[in-house]
Amino acid sequence: MTTSPSRRSELTCFQSRLLKCVPYLVVLGLAVGTLACSGHTRSQLSPTAAKLTTPQIPQRTVKTEWDAIRHRGTLRVLIHRGAKYVPRSGSPDDRELAAIELFARAKELKLELIEIEARSELLDALLENRGDVIVAHLTNTPARRKRVRFTSALRRVKELVVVPNGKDDVPQNSQSLAGHTIHLRASSSYMESLLSETFQRPPRIEPLSEALDALDILSAVGREEIGMTIMDSDAVEAYQAYRHDIKVAFAIKEHVPIAWAVRPHASALQQVLNDFISQYIARKGNTPVAAFDLDEIQKRGILRMVLPNTGSAFFFHQGIPMGFQYVMAQKLCKQLGVHLEVVVPRSKSDMIPLLVEGHADVIAATLTVTPDRNTLVDFATPLMRVDEVLIQPSSQPALRSVEQLAGRTVTVLGNSSYLRTLNALRASVPLMKVEIAPPETTAEALIEGVASGKYDLTVSDFNLVAAELSYREDIKASIKLGRGRPIAYAVRKGNAQLKKALDTFSNYWAPQLSGSTLTDPNQTSAQPPAVSAGGRPPFHDVITEITREYGLPETMLERWMMEVSQGDPKVVSWFGGRGLLQVMPHVARRLNVQAERLNTPEQGLVAGVRWLLALKKQLPDTIAEADALKMALAATRIGFGHINDARELAMARGWDATRWDGHVARALAELTRPEVAAGARYGYCPGSETVRFVSRILDQ
């Protein structure tokens, strides 16, 4: 008779428990034998005698992994570090993190997130006891179940065969894959699904690098570098939210469970997580999405906020999500005890529909309160009252009065408060020209247009200008045209609880944020050291030694240092960069450099140079040395993801993705434009300013 795997597991567990009981059985047997030999039974002994002669069997308590976690007070959660993307349709990863945060809070545990570089290493990290549970969009498969325990499914996805959008010979089912080549990562669940299929004639399988993530692979399919892959429906949805160069051939597998994983012996932890998941999923399914108010949002542990992908609201800088509105959203979610899920609209006109149709719970405080909008949504107490200021090139003398606008052209957004302000000024300045920007142009694009000479002048909110001035010097604010314009969070009609919470939040922060008193976030009280008497930059000797060791031009390192820190080793930038080369703390950790040591001149310079060379190493070998150096330097400014976006855009435009000047640099500058950024994985970036930054350092 063949014993099933589950039955063998039960027998093994029984044998293990039996062995643990052997010492107690031996003691008990000796006691019974003693009593039998003496001719007495328990009833013949006095209570005192029985108490003295009956062996005391200790009640041994086996400490489970769940007991250890509760005793420690910390739940260690393994997550995939993975490259990020602009979440145009929300993020499944955010939803999983929201759920595990709710679990930890309910159990009064501190949550410790442990990032793992490669997905293929997650199971090994768990088995090596580097964490207690994997929360990383992990598919429950038979092969993985041989190594770890899985919880109940949090959700189910489809595994889809994906091909380029222009492909005509599209397979319709598994059998029609014969003769095709499918590209997959060997460690992926998709490889296991494919190998479990029964084929009359199997397809060819081409392994992909484990360093590639899902969106990298889908992008390669879209560019027709590879002809076919398999990907889950979550990844396909995320990719198709910004790119339209792939299509689904068919579903090779449906109802695939996504779950959390624990170690094989952690059955008690698995059960506690399962109990939570069953309650969590039950709560998620009862209330229509459009009816979510604060009580339901807090039960689900996640607040979905509409945040436009702009330099003042939300964008990726060096791979880290940033932006003033993003920071405020994080503060709000901390106060509400929920996790933030960002939903990025494709255009400004999509913001209110996303809210009203139930795809989000709140619109970030980026909208002006107007009578027309009040008919569609409810506005909270204004978070800010900002001044409208005129923006002009920094190379021109500052305008001092509205009368100086005569003969000038001011370009603004249509149907905006700026247009109403300018129309009111026309009576006193009849010779001023007002032009309307093309539909869906952003304020950032208008500012860039003024800097490049495309537009003469524009108008913007002071807080947005302050954000722009933190990294550029080619524009300046001059005349105040409008004062105290209210900017507020928006919620669905009828969400009274959420509106009340937002009112409370705004009332606390508004006095600190409103008006034109916002300071340049890059401003620091520290003064840069003076240039030496010989005209050399500070730390010249240290720079000479480092450039000799790492093979870089000395003048490049000097210019880079002066550009980003003005030679001040203690400066901390608005985005958290530290030291002479403004290295981010998370980058320092990857370089095995303590963040606090970045403020020492030598450590700050060495970390920055090592960071530059590490970025350069990630570029293809086909890129010439000079071009690779420029791309890597640009990546230190904005992050490697934006450089990848620019290279992909260059290829799509027929330009050379291995050359910087006129090719990748040109594409990077276009990522400032909203219509271009909407089709990029990392979205908006200050590309034009970054191109100028590279030129100032390497082209002099």
> pLDDT tens digits for 535-555?
667 888 899 999 999 999 999
Residues 528, 422: Cα–Cα separation, whole Å: 41
Residues 331, 99: Cα–Cα separation, whole Å: 19
Domain for residue 308, yes or no? no
In a shared domain, residues 86 and 54: no
Beta bridge partners of 488: 367
In a shared domain, residues 20 and 123: no
Mean pLDDT of all residues belonging to the chain: 84
Domain for residue 332, yes or no? no
In a shared domain, residues 502 and 561: no
Residues in Cβ contact with 241 at an 8 Å cutoff, skipping those fewer than 6 apart: 88, 89
Domain for residue 372, yes or no? no
Residues 285, 45: Cα–Cα separation, whole Å: 64
- Select from 243, 271, 286 the last residue of a domain: 286
Please state which of the ranges 76-80, 255-259, 687-691 shows the lowest mean pLDDT. Answer: 687-691
Query: What is the CATH number for 595?
Result: 1.10.530.10
Domain for residue 420, yes or no? yes
Predicted confidence (pLDDT) per residue in 80-112, tens digit: 987 678 888 788 888 899 999 999 999 999 999
Domain for residue 683, yes or no? yes
- Select from 231, 257, 286 the last residue of a domain: 286
Cα–Cα separations (whole angstroms), residue 263 to 146, 270, 456, 557, 615? 11, 9, 63, 48, 35
Which phi and psi (to 5°) does residue 34 adopt? -65, -45
In percent, the amount of the chain with pLDDT more than 90 equals: 60
Please state which of the ranges 41-45, 307-311, 541-545, 638-642 shows the lowest mean pLDDT. Answer: 41-45
In a shared domain, residues 418 and 554: no
In a shared domain, residues 66 and 88: yes
Domain for residue 519, yes or no? no
Model confidence at 376: pLDDT above 80: yes
Residue 66 — very low, low, confident or very high, per pLDDT cuts 50/70/90? very high
Predicted confidence (pLDDT) per residue in 204-227, tens digit: 999 999 888 899 999 999 999 999
C-beta of residue 610 within 8 angstroms of C-beta of residue 620: no
Predicted confidence (pLDDT) per residue in 271-307, tens digit: 999 999 998 887 665 555 666 899 999 988 899 999 9
Residues 644, 512: Cα–Cα separation, whole Å: 38
Predicted confidence (pLDDT) per residue in 313-342, tens digit: 999 988 889 888 999 999 999 999 999 999
Find the mean pLDDT for residues 387-415: 91
Which of 191-200, 260-269, 483-492, 590-599: highest mean pLDDT? 260-269
Cα–Cα separations (whole angstroms), residue 616 to 12, 317, 612, 622? 53, 18, 6, 12
Residues 593, 589: Cα–Cα separation, whole Å: 6
Find the mean pLDDT for residues 372-401: 92
Per-residue DSSP letter, 130: S
* pLDDT given for residue 288 in this prediction: 59
Domain for residue 378, yes or no? no
Which H or E element spans position 484?
A: strand 475-491
In a shared domain, residues 92 and 232: yes
Helix, strand, coil percent values for the chain (each to nearest 5): 45, 20, 35
In a shared domain, residues 25 and 159: no
In a shared domain, residues 437 and 455: yes
In a shared domain, residues 80 and 49: no
Domain for residue 430, yes or no? yes
Number of domains within the chain: 4
Model confidence at 675: pLDDT above 80: yes
Query: What is the CATH number for 117?
Result: 3.40.190.170
* pLDDT given for residue 536 in this prediction: 66
Residue 463 — very low, low, confident or very high, per pLDDT cuts 50/70/90? confident
- pTM of this prediction? 0.78
Residue 154 — very low, low, confident or very high, per pLDDT cuts 50/70/90? very high
C-beta of residue 167 within 8 angstroms of C-beta of residue 239: no
In a shared domain, residues 15 and 115: no
Please state which of the ranges 50-64, 289-303, 575-589 shows the lowest mean pLDDT. Answer: 50-64
Per-residue DSSP letter, 598: G
Predicted confidence (pLDDT) per residue in 615-628, tens digit: 999 999 999 999 99
* pLDDT given for residue 118 in this prediction: 87
Say which amino acid occupies 106.
Answer: A
* pLDDT given for residue 22 in this prediction: 32
Query: What is the CATH number for 503?
Result: 3.40.190.10
In a shared domain, residues 480 and 590: no
* pLDDT given for residue 632 in this prediction: 97
* pLDDT given for residue 700 in this prediction: 67
- Select from 286, 320, 355 the last residue of a domain: 286
Measured between its terminal Cα atoms, the distance across the chain in Å is 82
Residue numbers of the domain that contains 683 = 540-698
Find the mean pLDDT for residues 560-581: 89
In a shared domain, residues 170 and 188: yes
Tokens of 292: 């979510």
- From 340, 121, 119, 134, select the one nearest 232 (Cα to Cα): 119
